[in-house]
Structure 1
Amino acid sequence: MYQRTLDQMDDLRAERDRARESYEIKSQFVSVVSHELRTPLTSIIGSLTLLRETDLSRNPESANRMLDIAHKNGQRLSKLINDLLDIQKMEARKMVYHFAPVDLSELITEAAQSITPYADKYNIVVKTVPPAIPLTIRADRERLMQVLDNLLSNAVKFSHCGGFIELGARLVDGCAVLEVSDHGIGISDDNRHLVFAKFSQVDNSDCRSFDGSGLGLSIARQIVEDHGASIDFESFPGKGTRFFAIFPLCDTEDDISIELPPRPVEAFDVAD
């Protein structure tokens, strides 16, 4: 009876810890999403209010500028919603992948071209380092582009103005390694556990210096792992960060769509 009581106490402690973890994650979710929704919505409403009260025929340049602000913030809201939907699909294991051979040289070129307009706003140069030999992996091209977009946008965001970031691939021990490097502020060891966590950011204060929902890297890691690959990073505070994903080389040319089986229910679900 004494042993059963001890076991019950252990179970109660474990349940308490799970409830506390769930509460903390939900609190982070409310804080981050509220911040990310409030800022663009305030900007959109302000721009539309000014448009309604302005004589557009007399000041067309101002009108175009306000429309541009509203459009950009609308895109920001759309990205947040898409990230939340992706997280929900991944939690339910309903994400569908269309696997096919992907040439990494072509992927690197496409990803660099896609991120360049964003990098230009911060005066950041995007450099590419194509593999010395052709490297082909089996992947969902669109989802892999999503991974690179998240990694590259983070690299730009945390770099110093006037600097550069690098996107490359190489062959290491029979595997393809896809790399994104910056020479920015870096990540301290104390914040390492936050990097791939949901709704968390290295700068997690109420007045963060960098925008973002804290979902991008969590989504990127799950996509990479669903490809049978792995992702990690190394960082030196004040010197920069290098993210790298290791993929097995492609050994088939068949296109395959895969819907992953349901995952066990976790302590927190976005739908809650």
Structure 2
Amino acid sequence: TLQVFNIFVALASLVLVAYVETRQRAEQARTSSEAKSEFLRVASHELRGPLSVLGGYLSLLSSGDLGKPPVRWRAPLQVLSAKTTELNAIMDQLLEVSRLDGDVMMRERTLFDLRDAVDAAVKRAEPRARLGGGGVTVERGGDHLGVVGDEGQVGNILDNLLNNALAYTRGPARVAVRCSAEGGRAVVRISDHGVGVPDELRRSLFGPFRRGRQQGVEEVAGTGLGLYISRELALAHGGTLILEQSTPGDGSTFTLAIPLARSGVTEGTRPASIHRRRQQPG
């Protein structure tokens, strides 16, 4: 009996030690994540000021408000202005990541038709598509796709998917967007005929700072945060964002799905916010 008791004491000790170590690792991970989020938040805010000043002076130089610039300055000023805009976009992404690493909470939830958000995103993408000799087609479907969420955040998801479809191609981009209602969800599929996603990248595709370096698109600018942010926003809406299919050299299809609004929810309704705590590794 004493031996059995001793065995139970030893097992209990092992379990206790494992529990304490697991809690310590979880606390260390939480502290590390909070420190990273705070760094990203402070860095993005602190860099925003100098970037705004830089952009302002570049605008004054380009417009001639500070005197007509020499002809040879035009191209460099255009490049500098474009890169400043790009840096501002990176700051926006870093700030969004700092929010996502804590609690994910939508700013304002309203009822809207997901097809309207798609139309607005396509309208924003069309000038870039036409500039490269490509185009975007839309199949709205016949069903009303009422969803409840932050329409601006859903628009950000769609913008990112469309921009990727237009960027990761070796020729004129041809992008197809299809809307449908499937199994109680509003679904948007965005298909392209671009470079596709290689097998070795698929498992980490939605992780932060993950970028493809396929031949022919090595110079595509970006931070590798777009898909990560988009998936987190989709999850915050109770939905999903997946790579449905991809063939290297022949294109990809990304699929966003968000639960349809329950019957009885009317236009203008502002239900309570979705609140989702990100799981910490442990």
Structure 1 length-normalised TM:
0.73
What are the equivalent positions in structure 2 for 1:144-183 lying under 5 Å apart?
A: 144-183=154-193
Further displaced range: 240-249 or 215-224? 240-249
**What letter is aligned with 1:260?**
H
Relative to 1, partners in 2 of residues 1:110 and 1:80: Cα closer, same or farther, differing over 3 Å? same
* Alignment check: 8 A CA contact 2:105 2:276 kept: no
**What letter is aligned with 1:148?**
L
Is there any run of 5+ residues in structure 1 with no aligned partner, and where?
27-32, 268-272
Partner-residue secondary structure (3-state), 1:146: helix
Partner-residue secondary structure (3-state), 2:177: strand
Task: Among all aligned residue pairs of Structure 1 and Structure 2, give the percentage whose two residues are the same amino acid.
Answer: 24
Relative to 1, partners in 2 of residues 1:177 and 1:259: Cα closer, same or farther, differing over 3 Å? closer
Alignment of 1:125 with 2:140, yes or no, is no
**What letter is aligned with 2:253?**
R
Relative to 1, partners in 2 of residues 1:261 and 1:225: Cα closer, same or farther, differing over 3 Å? closer
* Number of matched pairs: 241
Alignment of 1:93 with 2:103, yes or no, is yes
**What letter is aligned with 1:255?**
R
Name the structure 2 match of 1:29: none
Deviation string, structure 1 residues 107-151 (Cα, Å, up to 9, x no partner): 221111111222233322111111222221112110000000111
TM-superposed deviation, 1:173? 2.5
Relative to 1, partners in 2 of residues 1:133 and 1:91: Cα closer, same or farther, differing over 3 Å? same
Further displaced range: 149-158 or 162-171? 162-171
Name the structure 1 match of 2:275: 260
Name the structure 1 match of 2:4: none
Partner-residue secondary structure (3-state), 2:206: coil
* Alignment check: 8 A CA contact 1:178 1:246 kept: yes
Alignment of 1:107 with 2:117, yes or no, is yes
Is there any run of 5+ residues in structure 2 with no aligned partner, and where?
1-6, 37-42
**What letter is aligned with 1:243?**
F
Q: Give the distance between the partners of 1:133 and 1:218, measured in 2 at CA.
A: 29
Partner-residue secondary structure (3-state), 1:98: coil
Return structure 1 stretches of 4+ with deviation > 6 angstroms: 1-9
Relative to 1, partners in 2 of residues 1:225 and 1:120: Cα closer, same or farther, differing over 3 Å? same
**What letter is aligned with 1:191?**
L
TM-superposed deviation, 1:179? 1.3
Name the structure 2 match of 1:84: 94
Q: 1:137 aligns with which of 147, 150, 162?
A: 147
Query: What value does the CA root-mean-square deviation take over the aligned residues?
Result: 3.9
